[in-house]
Amino acid sequence: MIKNYLKIAWRQLTKNKRFTTLNLAGLSTGLACTLLIYLWIHDELSFDRFHQHDQHLFQVMENKPHEKGIVTSGETPAMLAETLVTTMPEVAYATVSTHPSWFPKAIMAAGKQRSKAGGIFAGKDYLRVFSYPLLQGNAQQVLQDKNGIVISEKLAQALFHNAASAVGKTISWQFDIIKKSSIVTGVLKNMPANSSVHVDFILPFDAFKDIMNITQMDPQGPFLTYLVTKDGANIPAFNAKLSRYMTSITPGASTPRQLFLQRYSNNYLYGDFENGVSTGGRISYVKLFSLIALFILLIAGINFVNLSTARASDRMREMGIRKAIGANRAILIFQHLGESMLMTFLALLIALLLVTLLLPQFNLITGKTLSLTPTPGMVLSILSITFFTGLLAGSYPAFYLSGFNPLTVLKGKLPSATGQLLARKGLVVFQFTLSVLFMVAVITIYRQIAYIQSKNPGYDKDNVVYFDAEGKVAKEGMPAFLAAVKKIPGVVNASGMVGNLLGAPSMGYTWKGRGIDETIIYRPVQVNYDMIETLGLEMAAGRSFSRRFGTDRSNIIFNETAIKAMGIADPVGKVISFNGITTTIIGVVKDFHFQSLHETIKPQFFTLDFHNSTVMIKIKAGQTKAVLDKLAAFYQSYNPGFTFDYKFLDEDYQAQYIAENRVAALSRYFTGLAVLISCLGLFGLAMFTAENKRKEVSIRKVLGATVTNIVIMLSKELLRAVLLAVLIGLPLAWYCMDRWLNSFAWRIQLEPGEFLLGGGAILGITILTVSYQTIRAATENPVKSLKME
C-alpha cells in the first residue's frame, strides 16, 4: 500500500515538472535558511553549558545603588571565595579569578622561544569549579603551588613544540613591569569554541596576592567570584545570607549590600541588567533569528499551499474517481500528505547541499566555526524541522482536495473556487507582509549602522594607534620613550594611559560636596601628560594636565555629565573630598562616547598617572604607512626582543558594533531569500492563472483586447493582494523597528522615505515577477490556443 502511494506521489512530481521545480526551489531555500539559523542558535544556546557542574555553577553578582538607580556588577572582593567555602555550608567549591581582559598580552618565554598570550590568575579550585579538561596534570593540584602555571595546548606547542613534555619546564612571564618565572604544572586542552572565556595560561591567585600584597579581606574589589552549590541549596535564602555577611564586614555601610547568584551559563545570553533587573542580552538575537527562521519556513510552506490549491482543478477528477471506487477521505489525506512529505524530504537533500556550500561564508559573517557534523540531537532536530515543514505545507491541500463531493466532480461541476481564491489571496498577503517587514528592517538597520559609524564620538579616533607598554618601555617608564616618539616625522602627539579608552568598567566613588557622602558610579581614566590633546578631547572649562604645574598629580578633571551628577556650579578651582582624598578640580572635559551608542554618557574623571600600560600615538593624516614603518624600526631598536604589535583606535570603536554589523549582514541575506521565495510562489500563481485562462485570453484577443488589457486582467488580483500586504506591513514595520531603535541611547529617527522605498521595492519586484508570465500569455498567438481547445 505504502509502496503504491510512493509510486503515485513520484509520478505526480515527475508529471508536473514546473510545479515540482518551483516547490523544490522554495522549500529547499527555506529549509537551507532555517538549518543555517538552527546551527547558529544551537551554538549560542550551548555556550558555557558543557561544564560538569552547570546546574549548580554560579557567579556572585552585586546590585549597587547609585544616584540614578541600581547598577549590577560582577566585581567582588579578592578573598570572598575562600571565605565562602569555610563559612557557608551551601558551597561545595568556590574560586576567584582576575578578569580575562586584564592580561590579554603577557610575554611568555621558554629558552629562546617567545610568545604573547592572554591569561588569568585563578584560585586553587578553579579547575574543579570549571570543567576545562587537562591533557597533563591533576585538576585538584595544578594550581596549589603559587610558583606553578597551567598553560594551554596551543601555548605549549608554541614554547616547547610538544604539549606532553611541557610539565616541569620553566616559563618566564611578564606584563607591565611585573616579571617572574613559573614551573608548568599542567597543560590545558584548548578551550572549546562555545566557552565565553578563552585564555592560554592560568596562574595561581596566591601569586597575585603576593604581587599586590593582599593579606586580608577587603569588602571591595574588582575580582570575579564563582562557586558550585551543594544539592538542595536554597538560592534565594543563600543570597540573603550572603548579602548580610557582606554588609557586616563593610565598614560604614549606609545601605545593605545586595549580593546574588547568577547562573554562570546564563551570563552569555542574559548578561544585560537595568536598574538591578536582568533585561536579556544576546538572547534577543536568538529570539529574533528564531522568528526569522519560522517566518521563512511559513513563506516556503505558503508557496506549496498556494500552488497546490491552484492545481486543484487538475486533481479533482482524480479524487472523485478514487472516492467512487472506495477510497475514504483518510486515505486521500494520507496520500496527499505523503506527496508533501516526499517533496519536503527531496527539498531537504538539496538544502543540505546548499548549507554545505554556504557554511564557510556563513561562518565568516557570524564569526563562528559551525559545522554540519551529524549528532543524534542534530539529526533529530533536522528531521523534526523537515517533518513540521512537510506537515505545514501539505495539510491544507490534503484536507481541501479530499473534501470534494465525488458525484459533483465526476459530473463535471467543479466546486466554486471563491473559497480557495480568498485563501490564496490571504496567504499571499501574509507572505508579502513579512517580506515588507524584512525589507524595511534591512533599510533601517543599515541607516542606524551608518549613523553609528559616521557620528562624531567626541574624540578624534582617526589615525590613532595604540600598543601595550612592554619591556624597556614599561620598566624604565614612559617619559624618555614618549619624548623620542614625538620626534619621529609624522607623529602629531603621543601619550600613555592605564588600560584602554573604550570598554573599561565603571566603579562607585564617594565624594563630599553637598554636606553628605554621596556615591556616584564613575568611569576612572588614568592618563599621562598630553593624552587629552592626543585624543582631541575638548575642554568645556578649565585646563588639561600640564607640566608647567607641579601639583597636577593631586588634581582631577571631570566630564560634563559627572559635574551635572554632582551638582557643582562653577567647578573649576573647587576643592572636594573625592573617595576620601582632597583634590582640586582643574578642568571639565566635554562629554564623549567611551561606551557604545547603546549607552548614555556616564560620569567620568581623569587623573594624572605616569605608570601607564598603554601607549597611544596620533599620526598625521595621509602618512600612516610611512610613520608606522618608522615607529616599528624605532621600537625594535629601543625595545629589542619585543615585536611592534599595534591596533587602530577606530577599529576598536567599530568593534563595539560587531553584533549589529553581523545582524545587518544576515538580515540582508535572509531578506533577499525571503523575497525570492515569495516571488517564486507569485511566479507560480501567475503561471497557473495564465494557464487556466488561456482560452479566455485567446477569445478576448480575437474580440480586440490589447496586450495591456490582458496583462492588467491577469495580474490585477495578485497586485491587489501585494498592495494590501504593503499597506499592512508598513505600520507593522514601523512598530518593530521603533522598538529595536529604542535599544540605542543614540538613534536615527524613522522617516517616510525608507518605508516608501521598502514598499516600492516589494511592489517593483512583484510587477517584474508577474509581468513575465502575463506578457507571455498576452502575446501568445490565440489561434494556437483555440486549436488546442
Instruction: Let me know: does 26 contact 18? Beta carbons within 8 Å.
Output: no
The pLDDT of residue 521 is above 90 = no
CA distance 437 to 299: 13
Q: Report the share of the chain in percent with pLDDT over 70.
A: 82
**Which domain-ending residue is among 268, 293, 318?**
268
CA gyration radius, the chain: 34
| 249 backbone dihedrals φ, ψ, rounded to 5° | -100, 5
In a domain, 167, yes or no: yes
Structural domain for 203, as ranges: 57-268
**Angle, CA of 67, 69 and 75, to the nearest 5°:** 90
In a domain, 357, yes or no: yes
**Which domain-ending residue is among 576, 611, 641?**
641
Which has more pLDDT, 8 or 123?
123
Cβ-based neighbours of 400, under 8 Å, separated by 6 or more:
309, 312, 420
Mean pLDDT of 209-235: 88
Which has more pLDDT, 103 or 528?
528
In a domain, 464, yes or no: no
Burial class from Cβ neighbours inside 10 Å (0-12, 13-18, 19+) for residue 537 reads buried
Residues 620 and 539 both lie in one domain: yes
Task: List the beta bridge partners of residue 615.
Answer: 467, 496
The pLDDT of residue 318 is above 80 = no
Lowest-confidence pick of 5-19, 45-59, 85-99, 369-383: 5-19
pLDDT tens, 155-210?
999 898 888 888 999 999 887 668 889 999 999 998 998 999 999 999 999 999 98
The pLDDT of residue 679 is above 80 = no
The pLDDT of residue 406 is above 80 = no
The pLDDT of residue 353 is above 90 = yes
pLDDT tens, 23-47?
788 888 888 988 999 999 999 999 9
Cβ-based neighbours of 20, under 8 Å, separated by 6 or more:
13, 14, 343
Closest CA relative to residue 714, chosen from 778, 649, 628:
778
Residues 519 and 497 both lie in one domain: yes
Cβ-based neighbours of 358, under 8 Å, separated by 6 or more:
32, 36
**Angle, CA of 95, 96 and 98, to the nearest 5°:** 150
Residues 480 and 534 both lie in one domain: yes
Closest CA relative to residue 471, chosen from 110, 114, 743:
114
Residues 111 and 169 both lie in one domain: yes
Task: State the pLDDT at residue 155.
Answer: 92
Which has more pLDDT, 68 or 440?
440
Residues 157 and 292 both lie in one domain: no
In a domain, 720, yes or no: no
Residues 547 and 586 both lie in one domain: yes
Locate 354 and state its grid cell.
546548499
Task: State the pLDDT at residue 90.
Answer: 93
Mean pLDDT of the chain: 82
**Which domain-ending residue is among 620, 641, 662?**
641
Residues 290 and 243 both lie in one domain: no
Task: State the pLDDT at residue 120.
Answer: 93
Residues 70 and 177 both lie in one domain: yes
Residues 97 and 206 both lie in one domain: yes
Residues 475 and 546 both lie in one domain: yes
Task: State the pLDDT at residue 48.
Answer: 93
Task: State the pLDDT at residue 206.
Answer: 92
Task: List the beta bridge partners of residue 559.
Answer: 589
In a domain, 463, yes or no: no
pLDDT tens, 710-759?
667 767 777 788 888 888 888 988 988 888 888 777 788 888 888 888 88
Q: Which amino acid is at 508?
A: G
Q: Give CA separation, 376 vs 48, 369, 373, 379, 383, in Å.
A: 20, 20, 10, 5, 11
pLDDT tens, 281-305?
888 888 888 888 888 888 888 777 7
The pLDDT of residue 379 is above 60 = yes
DSSP-derived secondary structure letter, 234:
-
Closest CA relative to residue 78, chosen from 246, 258, 257, 223:
223
Query: What is the pLDDT confidence band of residue 322, given thresholds at 50, 70 and 90?
Result: low
The pLDDT of residue 593 is above 70 = yes
In a domain, 162, yes or no: yes
In a domain, 246, yes or no: yes
Domain count, the chain: 3
In a domain, 238, yes or no: yes
Residues 102 and 216 both lie in one domain: yes
Closest CA relative to residue 186, chosen from 156, 211, 207:
156
DSSP-derived secondary structure letter, 278:
E
Residues 121 and 249 both lie in one domain: yes
Most confidently predicted of 60-69, 222-231, 605-614, 711-720: 222-231
